[in-house]
Chain A
Amino acid sequence: MKKNNLILYGTILILGLVAPFIFPGFKLQISFLWILIVLAMTWDVQGGQMGYNTFGNILFFGVGMYLCASVQIGMFFPLAEWTEAGGEKTFVHTPPQYFQGLLFGLILAGIIPAIVAGLIGYGILGLRGHYFAICTLGLGIAAGEIAGGIEIIGAGQGMTTPPWPKNIGDTELRSQFFYYICFGLVIFTFLFLQWAYKTRFGLVLNAIRDNEDKAEAMGIYTMRYKIIGWMVSAFFVGIAGGLMGNMVGYIEPVEVAFAGPTFGVFMVLMAILGGKGTLWGPVIGATVFHLFKEGFWTFFLGWQYVALGVLIVVIVVFFPEGIMGWLREKYPEKFGEVIDEADRKAQVELK
């Protein structure tokens, strides 16, 4: 088992590292896949492990995106004039400025959303079930609407992120650079969550999902763990948002940053498709979903959101256990479950 795992991780690592050279045309698409995997995995911290179905993680995505871009620009130039200028290149980042800005921007894009998650989480993580779901849905949309009214970050028109500095390479190098950052982020997220799920933290999250009242009665401060869980999600989602903003190059409040109907739903859908509450489920779900999306959506040109709606209904209604759940049902022994045949027969007879 241990050896198999090593081979698996090694293969994925090598594939990820050489992918931009094998498929140079798909670099950006694979980078988006890593971002989607991060979104799905962090959604699963709430939706799968903790049993708190959130639509609001998109909030941290948007906050991270705006924050990263604002820091990148605001460190060196007046932000208001930048957004005023729109797409025109009146201010140009030198390479050191660009990378400095990106580094600080990404760090802050992780930390500030985590703090925001802590503050908001204290308010709304006391809600349960569907109240929490609707409340977070409102939160994500409210953020988009409010961001659309703030002048300094471009209001409804949006803002551009700093372009890649001219004198150090072409766009090839740019997409390669962002590819490896995204890949690093997904590896880090995966390893962190794998470790976190093994500790007491993961156990507590599962206890909250199974029965929160009992967990509380056992003397666990569930609120504290819920908030920490949300902060962890917000940290990674924020960084993913910052990267996404830089890769797209243009931030718009409702369509790109606080994109509830696209990324906000994608992350839920991917985690459910792959299998909620498993480590690998979101990864598989995101991969399958992204392949499906990119492979087939071109055939539905213009109808892709109709297809998305149908897909949501079909997956949620007919396939709620996801791929991992289906595999688990089919090959329980692979998941370390032992089935007592005699007991099963007795159960069937009882029915």
Chain B
Amino acid sequence: MDLLIFQAPILMVQASLDGILLGILFALIAYGMALQWGVMNIINIAQGELVIVGGYIAYFMYKAGIHPGFGIIVSPIIMYFVGWGLYKLVINKVVDRDLFISILATFGISILTQQLMNFIFGSDVVVAQSNFGTTMFFDGMVTLPNAKIFAAIVSIAFAIGLVIYMRKSKLGRAIRATAQNARAAKIMGVNTEKVYAATFGINAALCGVAGSLIAITFTLHPYVGLPYTVRSFMIVIIAGLGNLPGVALSGMGLGVFEEFADYILGTEFRIGSVFTLLVLILVYRRFKLSRKREYLK
């Protein structure tokens, strides 16, 4: 086969590095999803849309003349309240219901958000220029935009910060207690309603950070949210809930897979390969478990 990637091994380095940096971003989004899934038992299809909304906040800062890098501070603050409001409006009514209800309700939110973004921000593909420059390796054969490196460092910093916050703070303890057993936590005096709202807010804030990083490293478009949801779902089911190193690793793995799929199959199959991989992973796990007469729970 006449594939450039195997003839020029340097391209593999490029794809792998791109993939790892991209994967760290995915892992950050997936961390938010794992958090709300574990605590509230909700799968949020609108996760990707939260990311894109967060990205647009950074983009509008860029439009207003502020450096989009500051989006990582502004975006999570705004998104926290967006998430909190979303919880109070809709999510609190689906928390202890069937999971499918939450999937469908958030799917509705996702369609709604997409369309609103389409009206308010327009359907053009936008990008916020960060002017961070690029770093070159191997005589310019491998180029890495500094924005991507910045994105990876910020993601790691936020993830570590959140882990510490969950371990040390009072709210973090309350969230972990609610995740273990909501009823017992309630008896012990935890206001689970507040904990849920805070969890959803933190998740939205993480999405906001990731979104503002995507705004400076990649492109934004009102309709690209769903792939981010599916990626984070995939990362969570590979890693398992509450397995943070696993989330980081599988995020990077997914990023590398995507870059290679992009090079080998072509860009038009990139999103398709992500969704196909999701189906394949689920089918693989189902057959593996069915040998033990079990199923994915």
Contact of B275 among A123, A141, A311 (CB under 8 A): A141
Q: Is the CB of B269 within 8 A of A312?
A: no
Assembly CA distance A159 to B99 (angstroms): 38
Assembly CA distance A128 to B105 (angstroms): 19
Chain A min CB distance to B101 (Å): 6
The verdict on B103 contacting chain A, using a C-beta distance below 8 Å, is: yes
Q: Is the CB of B295 within 8 A of A128?
A: yes
Q: Is the CB of B103 within 8 A of A305?
A: no
Contact of A138 among B111, B230, B268, B269 (CB under 8 A): B230
The verdict on B167 contacting chain A, using a C-beta distance below 8 Å, is: no
Q: Is the CB of B99 within 8 A of A316?
A: no
- B113: which A residues are within 8 A, CB to CB? 309
Contact of A145 among B99, B108, B275, B279 (CB under 8 A): B275
Assembly CA distance A317 to B89 (angstroms): 11
The verdict on B282 contacting chain A, using a C-beta distance below 8 Å, is: yes
The verdict on B60 contacting chain A, using a C-beta distance below 8 Å, is: no
Interface size on A, residues (CB 8 A): 41
Q: Is the CB of A124 within 8 A of B111?
A: no
Contact of B108 among A141, A142, A316 (CB under 8 A): A316
- Scoring B residues 235 to 277 as 1 if CB is less than 8 Å from chain A, else 0, what string do you get? 0010000000000000000000000000000101101100110
Assembly CA distance A156 to B267 (angstroms): 13
The verdict on A215 contacting chain B, using a C-beta distance below 8 Å, is: no
Chain B residues 266 to 297 lying within 8 A of chain A, measured CB to CB, are 266, 268-269, 271-272, 275-276, 278-279, 282-283, 286-287, 290, 295-297
Q: Is the CB of A126 within 8 A of B286?
A: yes
The verdict on A303 contacting chain B, using a C-beta distance below 8 Å, is: yes
Given A305-B115, A306-B115, A313-B109, do A139 and B43 touch, yes or no (CB 8 Å)?
A: no
Q: Which 6 A-B pairs have the closest CB atoms?
A: A309-B112, A312-B108, A145-B272, A142-B275, A309-B111, A313-B108
Contacts A123-B286, A309-B115, A311-B108 known; 9 new A-B pairs at CB < 8 A: A129-B100, A134-B233, A137-B45, A138-B276, A141-B275, A261-B111, A305-B115, A310-B108, A312-B105
A-B contact pairs, 30 of them (CB 8 A): A53-B100, A126-B286, A126-B290, A128-B297, A129-B99, A130-B99, A131-B282, A131-B296, A134-B230, A134-B233, A141-B230, A142-B275, A145-B268, A149-B272, A155-B268, A303-B115, A305-B112, A305-B114, A306-B115, A306-B119, A309-B112, A309-B114, A310-B108, A310-B112, A312-B104, A312-B105, A313-B105, A313-B112, A317-B93, A320-B101
